[in-house]
């Protein structure tokens, strides 16, 4: 997922505080909330067990066979499953969060924490982003990486189609250090995108090292998810090896016909890196289609090269599998595939794809609206299941509050419905671990992601028998079903299909030491 870097530089909303109007759904400090009659899946992978959870203020204070005490407000879970709130380790739901603070796309999936600053694109300075969030808090917790592309953009500006000089790398290092000081979890990169694609691997290593020196991590939308996938994985593993830092593949996928069925090979490569001491992990979302810009289909940016175009349509995505999600020069093409647009234009798919990109690039260059986006079907179902099952893979959405890809609303319930209940890819307890404690571990968050005394009271109550996604490419904002209630920091934010209007979300800064 990419957004223009000019936007990435905008601090979320303004610093104006619109008095806190959150209804007082929080648990007062002298009272506690007792959730009884729940099947507790604690997030560690341990088997579900029946019991109760007591919450005081923003923390879990007891778990087990608990009796009602004076002052308890009691919620009977009715035998539903209580899990830690899900942690979305690759999210774009921060965009527009200042306007849509209830974040129904997020909480309706049972997600309580999002990790922003992905794909090399972050708010800079993060201190401003964080203080705007704290002045105008949303329903959910937010953490962020510092984005390599945004850092590069702030030093190179429009002159980015080149390797940076040593002096420029030094200036970028200073920004990364500043952002780590503000609480970034680490460095993210988007090496398939401008401007990251023009960086030399040594630049990325040097900047990631600054994050490592602060105890941070490296997470990457790698240089390639198709033609050069395995080479891109080598670059990521190498960063982990030379910098002695944890590294994570963002939204892992094998997005080319020739790669289909090769998930075991990818996993074997990662397992052997782990055996050699590199802490490499991944996040993955449960869809066969990705969403990005049309330009990523052309890593050499040779948009008019018919050989490349033919290769794209044969190997990366068929014309019927390229659904235009946005096309500002002619908005009527949004919601149509390249195959359909070709028919409308009495043309062929290759000419049409090249025309779409040329038209959007021309509009952009003349200062007009050239925005475009595509949802491309490039992945094989078997690979997705294998990636989800890898013990070090956690679940992420890559989604947005107002996006055209259904992942923004459906990811987590889809895993629980399709991959757990229907396909038995992993057990329910293992899936929950991948959405909670493993997710927290993979981004370096310590006090969320399990149900245990002392942890923050981010909780999701759901029905494993019915939970499923409803969002589709044609109805991307359809709410999932089966998520019953969601608490963030001890406060109810979602119940019975609706947000509560409470805004207990916090900024999560990297744990130090
Ligand atoms: Zn991405």
CA of 263 to the centre of ligand 1 (A): 19
- Identify the bridge partners of residue 295 per DSSP, sorted by sequence position: none
CA of 117 to the centre of ligand 1 (A): 11
Report whether 141 contacts 458 (CB < 8 A).
yes
CA of 192 to the centre of ligand 1 (A): 9
CA-wise closest residue to 92 among 13, 191, 8, 17: 8
Structure tokens at 215: 């105890």
Distance, in Å, from the CA atom of 240 to the CA atom of 173, rounded to the nearest integer, reads 18
CA of 249 to the centre of ligand 1 (A): 10
Distance, in Å, from the CA atom of 126 to the CA atom of 145, rounded to the nearest integer, reads 9
Report whether 109 contacts 416 (CB < 8 A).
no
CA of 119 to the centre of ligand 1 (A): 5
CA of 418 to the centre of ligand 1 (A): 23
26 alpha carbon, distance to own chain's centre: 27
Report whether 138 contacts 493 (CB < 8 A).
no
250 alpha carbon, distance to own chain's centre: 8
Q: Please report the pLDDT score of residue 21 as a whole number.
A: 39
By the 10 Å C-beta count (0-12 exposed, 13-18 middle, 19+ buried), 355 is classed as middle
Structure tokens at 399: 């989604």
Distance, in Å, from the CA atom of 180 to the CA atom of 241, rounded to the nearest integer, reads 21
In tens digits, what is the pLDDT along the chain, a chain of 513 residues? 443 343 333 333 333 333 333 444 566 666 799 999 999 999 999 999 999 999 999 999 999 999 999 889 999 999 999 999 999 999 999 999 999 999 999 999 999 999 999 999 999 999 999 999 999 999 999 999 999 999 999 999 999 999 999 999 999 999 999 999 999 999 999 999 999 999 999 999 999 999 999 999 999 999 999 999 999 999 999 999 999 999 999 999 999 999 999 999 999 999 999 999 999 999 999 999 999 999 999 999 999 999 999 999 999 999 999 999 999 999 999 999 999 999 999 999 999 999 999 999 999 999 889 999 999 999 999 999 999 999 999 999 999 999 999 999 999 999 999 999 999 999 999 999 999 999 999 999 999 999 999 999 999 999 999 999 999 998 999 999 999 999 999 999 999 899 999 999 999 999 876
Strand order in the sheet with 111-116: 86-88, 111-116, 141-144
Secondary element (H or E) of residue 169: helix 166-181
Q: Please report the pLDDT score of residue 25 as a whole number.
A: 56
CA of 344 to the centre of ligand 1 (A): 31
Q: Please report the pLDDT score of residue 27 as a whole number.
A: 64
CA of 223 to the centre of ligand 1 (A): 10
Question: What's the pLDDT tens digit per position in 129-139?
Answer: 999 999 999 99
Name, in order, each residue with C-beta under 8 angstroms of 157's C-beta and a sequence gap of 6 or more: none
Q: Please report the pLDDT score of residue 511 as a whole number.
A: 83
Q: CB-side exposure of 181: number of CA atoms within 13 Å?
A: 8
CA of 91 to the centre of ligand 1 (A): 9
Q: Please report the pLDDT score of residue 29 as a whole number.
A: 62
CA triple 351-352-358, angle to 5 deg: 90
Q: Please report the pLDDT score of residue 19 as a whole number.
A: 34
CA of 2 to the centre of ligand 1 (A): 7
What is the 8-class DSSP label of residue 416?
Answer: I
CA of 195 to the centre of ligand 1 (A): 14
Hunting for tokens 């070090």 — which residue is that? 392
CA of 190 to the centre of ligand 1 (A): 7
CA-wise closest residue to 409 among 92, 158, 173, 189: 92
Residues of the chain by 3-state class (helix, strand, coil), percent to 5:
35, 20, 45
CA of 229 to the centre of ligand 1 (A): 14
Distance, in Å, from the CA atom of 509 to the CA atom of 5, rounded to the nearest integer, reads 23
Distance, in Å, from the CA atom of 382 to the CA atom of 260, rounded to the nearest integer, reads 8
Structure tokens at 250: 């963002």
Name, in order, each residue with C-beta under 8 angstroms of 286's C-beta and a sequence gap of 6 or more: 384, 388, 395, 411, 414, 415, 418, 419
Report whether 71 contacts 32 (CB < 8 A).
yes
CA of 376 to the centre of ligand 1 (A): 13
Report whether 92 contacts 69 (CB < 8 A).
no
CA of 313 to the centre of ligand 1 (A): 21
Question: What's the pLDDT tens digit per position in 249-261?
Answer: 999 999 999 999 9
Q: Please report the pLDDT score of residue 512 as a whole number.
A: 75
């Amino acid at each position: 997922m990419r957004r223009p870097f000019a936007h990435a530089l905008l601090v979320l909303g303004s610093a104006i505080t619109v008095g806190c109007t959150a209804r007082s759904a929080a648990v007062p400090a002298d009272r506690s909330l007792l959730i009884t009659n729940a099947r507790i899946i604690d997030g560690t992978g341990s088997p579900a067990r029946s019991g109760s959870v007591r919450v005081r203020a923003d923390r879990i204070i007891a778990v087990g066979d608990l009796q009602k005490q004076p002052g308890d407000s009691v919620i009977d879970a009715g035998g539903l499953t209580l899990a830690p709130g899900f942690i979305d380790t690759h999210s774009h739901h921060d965009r527009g969060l200042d306007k849509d603070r209830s974040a129904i796309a997020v909480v309706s999936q049972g997600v309580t924490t999002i990790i922003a600053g992905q794909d090399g694109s972050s708010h800079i300075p993060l201190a401003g982003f964080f203080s705007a969030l704290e002045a105008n808090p949303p329903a959910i917790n937010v953490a962020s990486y510092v984005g390599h592309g945004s850092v590069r953009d702030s030093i190179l500006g429009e002159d980015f189609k080149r390797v940076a000089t040593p002096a420029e790398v030094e200036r970028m290092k200073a920004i990364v250090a500043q952002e780590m000081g503000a609480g970034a979890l680490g460095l993210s990169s988007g090496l398939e995108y401008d401007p990251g694609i023009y960086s030399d691997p040594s630049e990325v290593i040097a900047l990631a090292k600054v994050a490592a020196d602060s105890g941070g991590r490296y997470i990457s939308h790698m240089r390639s998810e198709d033609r050069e996938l395995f080479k891109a994985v080598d670059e990521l593993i190498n960063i982990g090896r030379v910098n002695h830092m944890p590294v994570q593949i963002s939204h892992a996928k094998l997005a080319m016909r020739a790669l289909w069925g090769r998930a075991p090979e990818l996993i074997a490569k990662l397992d052997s890196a782990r055996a050699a001491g590199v802490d490499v992990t991944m996040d993955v979302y449960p869809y066969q289609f990705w969403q990005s810009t049309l330009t990523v289909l052309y890593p050499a940016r040779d948009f008019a090269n018919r050989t490349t175009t033919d290769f794209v349509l044969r190997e990366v995505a068929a014309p019927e599998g390229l659904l235009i999600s946005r096309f500002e020069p002619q908005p009527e093409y949004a919601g149509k595939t390249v195959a359909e647009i070709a028919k409308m234009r009495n043309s062929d798919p290759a000419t049409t794809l090249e025309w779409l990109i040329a038209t959007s690039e021309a509009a952009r260059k003349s200062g007009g609206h050239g925005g475009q986006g595509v949802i491309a079907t490039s992945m094989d179902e078997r690979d997705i299941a294998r990636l989800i099952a890898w013990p070090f893979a956690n679940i992420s959405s890559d989604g947005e509050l107002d996006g055209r890809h259904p992942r923004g609303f459906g990811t987590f319930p889809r895993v629980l419905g399709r991959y757990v209940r229907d396909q038995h890819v992993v057990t329910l307890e293992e899936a929950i671990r991948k959405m909670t404690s493993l997710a927290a571990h993979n981004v370096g968050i310590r006090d969320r992601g399990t149900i245990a005394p002392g942890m923050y009271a981010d909780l999701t109550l759901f029905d494993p028998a019915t939970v499923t996604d409803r969002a589709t490419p044609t109805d991307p904002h359809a709410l999932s079903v089966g998520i019953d209630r969601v608490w963030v920091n001890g406060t109810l934010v979602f119940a019975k299909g609706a947000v509560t209007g409470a805004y207990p979300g916090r900024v999560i800064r990297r744990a130090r030491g």
